[in-house]
Structure 1
Amino acid sequence: MPARPAVRLDARASASYADDDEFFGRQLSRRSELPDPTGMLQSLTHCIVEAMAGARDLEQLARWVTDDVYRTLTKRVVLATRARRIKGLSPQRPTFRIGRVIVTEPADGVVEAVVLVHQPHRVRSIAIRLEGLDQRWRASAIAVL
């Protein structure tokens, strides 16, 4: 059997692998390539409040958020579920309405917003940072206050 030639990777070959990762990985988007974020912010807030109340499955949010945000929300939902179980409460669809949405754009393709959530006995605020990735918005940070 003839001997196979040794495969040699040089600097050019390894550089092409890096270029492939940059080309096929997530791509940042400019603001002009992205839709108006207000609708997304309202829908995402609505889903977050329902997930925290146990009325919505958190997996429905997975396509809108980064992996880190999903893990953080999972922890919050688990804690809320345990608290309801200890009190003997069942999950219920919460009564609320989305209030004012305050939006700032600190950089091209980045939106930071605060969304007010009016509930019967209190008002909450949810801070959300959206980043344009692959020509769509994804939440890279969420804080429920």
Structure 2
Amino acid sequence: MATSPAGIARVLSAPANAVELSEFFAPQRTPSTALPDPQPFLRNLTRGVLEVLAGVREVDQLARWLTEDPYRKLSTRANLATRARSARGVPARRPVHTILSVHASTPADGVVEAVVIVQGPARTRAVAMRLEGIDRRWRATSLALL
């Protein structure tokens, strides 16, 4: 059965409920009651970030936990760290860190802002992050290693 060009154009044009469809398939906000406790996630993500920067973990392994912006920033910082290690001739080694404390607050439903204090062999650092409940799981929408 042949379809005319006008018929194809009508099929390809946006339907009246296009907004409803895009909202259905877009990432969905999740309330705090439908999400797990964020404390283990904060600790695991912090360890993962430190391992990525140390060069013993690929940033792609954290991709499902990060939104696009923190993923790009972490990837860029990991590449710079790799180049710096290469220039100095220092091999990548698994970091030895101790998580001293996790300070978390909930400014809105489905949102957690936290600072994880980490002690390493040379210095103590802080990892600040914002988690949002998206598609029934926590994802980091902002990440900073201080």
Q: Does the pair score TM above 0.5?
A: yes
**1:117 corresponding residue in structure 2:** 118
The CA RMSD measured in Å over matched residues stands at: 2.0
Deviations 1:12-41, CA, capped at 9 Å, x for gaps: x63311110101111001111111000000
Q: 1:54 to 1:2 in 2, by over 3 A?
A: closer
Q: 1:5 to 1:60 in 2, by over 3 A?
A: closer
Unaligned runs of 5+ residues in structure 1 are none
Which structure 1 residue ranges, 4+ long, deviate > 3 Å from structure 2? Answer: 1-9
Q: 1:29 to 1:5 in 2, by over 3 A?
A: same
Q: Which amino acid in 2 is paired with 1:6? A: A
Which secondary structure state, in structure 2, belongs to the residue aligned with residue 18 of structure 1? helix
**1:142 corresponding residue in structure 2:** 143
**2:101 corresponding residue in structure 1:** 100
Q: State the percentage of identical aligned residues.
A: 48
Q: 1:33 to 1:5 in 2, by over 3 A?
A: same
**1:24 corresponding residue in structure 2:** 25
Q: Aligned partners of 2:17 and 2:104: how far apart in 1?
A: 40
**2:6 corresponding residue in structure 1:** 6
Which secondary structure state, in structure 1, belongs to the residue aligned with residue 85 of structure 2? helix
**2:44 corresponding residue in structure 1:** 43
Q: Aligned partners of 2:99 and 2:136: how far apart in 1?
A: 26
Deviation, structure 1 residue 121: 2.1
Q: 1:84 to 1:107 in 2, by over 3 A?
A: same
Q: Aligned partners of 2:2 and 2:47: how far apart in 1?
A: 66
Deviation, structure 1 residue 90: 0.6
Q: Aligned partners of 2:19 and 2:106: how far apart in 1?
A: 31
Deviation, structure 1 residue 2: 8.5
Unaligned runs of 5+ residues in structure 2 are none
